[in-house]
Every structure is written in C-alpha cells, then in structure tokens.
Amino acid sequence: MNLKAYRPKGLALPAGLAGVIAGTSVLLNILLWLIVLITFPKSSPNAILHYTAGVGIDFIGNGWQIITLPSIGAFLICVNIILARYVRNTSRIAFWILWMSMPLLQILLLGTYGILLSFNT
C-alpha cells in the first residue's frame, strides 16, 4: 500500500468552507476586541487578570493589560493560518485540525473574558 497516495474517503470538504471558517474566526476576534474595549471597567486602575480554581486570584495587573486577551486571539489566528498553509499539501487532516481550531479558540477567549469581567465588576 502506497501511503503517500492514500487518502481516506470522505475527507474532501467544500472549497469555500475554509474561507467561511477563517472569516468567522476574524469576526469573533473583532467582536472580542469590541467587547473588551466597551465593557471593561475603565474606572479601576487595577484589574484581576488571572484566576485559578485551586489558588484563587493570582495575578492583578493594570486594567489596560486586559487587551492581551484579544491580542492573543489575533496572534493565534495568524499562527494557525501560517501553519495550516504550510502543512496543507502534506497532511489534509492536520490542515483541517488547525483550520477548525481557530473559531474554537476565539470562543474560548470570549468565555475567558466573560469570566474575568465577572470578577472585575
């Protein structure tokens, strides 16, 4: 069996799906930026930026540092796109795993921001 030519059946996904997924990820990141800039309390100079279930509050920083959350999301989109394009011809499965994880990561960051917002209000 020639492994290089082996392609599992049913792996072909619609061509436009990759663009829809990338667009959804970018829109979710823009939504995260807007929510952070509009809803985060600006009156407090300090903010709870990290919470652990075992320890509790373990990082209090400047309120403006909350923008690192959407910045991480934008960085992850860029890294996933670069890596997915790099492995596209060698492994379609790796390509789709990287591509499909982009919106999931943005949703996770939105949930994380919601939790941090509840601790800071």
Cα dihedral sign for 11, 16, 17, 22?
Answer: positive
Which CA distances in Å does 66 have to 9, 32, 53, 113? 45, 11, 20, 9
**Mean pLDDT of all residues in 19-26:** 90
- Tell me what pLDDT residue 95 has: 87
- Tell me what pLDDT residue 15 has: 65
- Tell me what pLDDT residue 94 has: 87
**Which one, of 11, 91, 14, lies nearest residue 83 by Cα?**
91
Q: What is the mean pLDDT of the chain?
A: 83
- Tell me what pLDDT residue 4 has: 60
